Amino acid sequence: DSESGKAGQARPDDVASTHRNKTHILSFNPNDIKINLSKEKTLIEAKRQTLLTKNKRYLSLIDKENIDEYEQLSDNLMQLRQRIGKCEEIIDTLVRYENNLTSLQENIESYSTGGSERKNGNEIYQIRMDSFNKYFTPLAQKINEENPILVYSPDTHKFPVSFSALSGSSTGTRKSLIAAYDLAYQQFAIANQIQSPHFIVHDVVENVEGDDLRTIINIANGIDAQYIVAVLKEKLDSSHISKAEQEKLTILQLSEDDKLFEGKTVNDRENSKGNILSLPFEF
């Protein structure tokens, strides 16, 4: 028992050691705690002031219980964002338009006088002109003894093609020249396998010289294309085209008694001018 009592009793040294340990664990410096708390309070207060400053307007609305104004501002903000989005779309469209416009202008410049595409294509155009003139010039020479040449102009400020080496400029000469051009193109298209209508339609050929008209008809008969022309019978007779050939080539013949559309004659219209019926109108 004495041994156990001794064991259950703490020695003075042990008690002192225990008190020292407790004192070490629970020991603190009140001044340090105050300083730390003061620093944390200062930081928190600074953050609070920052938040208050940033949201001062909204907080004032809430403080005043003016929620309607807050909602109105929110709606305005949303509308502004939508407008900004639309403006950005418009800007993107304008940028694409400017880029396309720049590209088109560059293409125009390349095909304009002195442009790279025009310079590269001049040789091809000249080859085509030479090929066409092989048909055109001989036909024109047969029709009215002219020797015109179809010329290509690379100047974009001028019409791209024109005739040169012309000695006559009368209406009949121009008409016969047009006929030679159209007939030559039919030959050119057939030779180069160009898909095009194989017929020509002309009218008002009364100004063409009789010999020229007869030559045009003879050339047209030798080309794999139709030459359709509206002409007075008197012109065919004066051009020394035989009656048999006229009947052979005629598709449709009209006269005073055989009209395409029924109606008053010239005399009937002239006589009816003096008999105008007046009708009363009320407004």
What is the token pair recorded at 191? Answer: 């030779």
Mean pLDDT on 46-69: 74
Q: Is the pLDDT of residue 215 over 90?
A: yes
Burial 166-199 (b: 16+ CB within 10 A, else e): eeeeeebbebbbebbbbbbbbbbbeeeeeeeeee
Does the CA dihedral 262-266-271-273 come out positive or negative? positive
* Rounded-to-integer distance, Cα 65 and Cα 67, Å: 6
pLDDT (tens digit, 9 = 90+) per residue, 230-243? 999 999 999 999 99
Most distant CA atoms of the chain, gap in Å: 170
Residue 270 is assigned to a structural domain of this protein: no
Residue 77 is assigned to a structural domain of this protein: no
Same domain for 138 and 29 = no
Same domain for 138 and 40 = no
Same domain for 253 and 137 = yes
DSSP conformational letter for 189 = H
> When comparing pLDDT for 93 and 37, which is higher?
93
Residue 31 is part of which domain span? Answer: 13-54
pLDDT confidence of residue 259: 82
Residue 148, class by beta-carbon neighbours within 10 Å (0-12 exposed, 13-18 middle, 19+ buried)? buried
* Rounded-to-integer distance, Cα 102 and Cα 180, Å: 43
CATH value at residue 155: 3.40.50
* Rounded-to-integer distance, Cα 233 and Cα 241, Å: 10
pLDDT (tens digit, 9 = 90+) per residue, 160-207? 888 887 776 677 788 999 999 999 999 999 999 999 999 999 988 898
Mean pLDDT on 265-275: 63
The pTM of this model reads 0.53
Domain count, the chain: 2
Residue 211 is assigned to a structural domain of this protein: yes
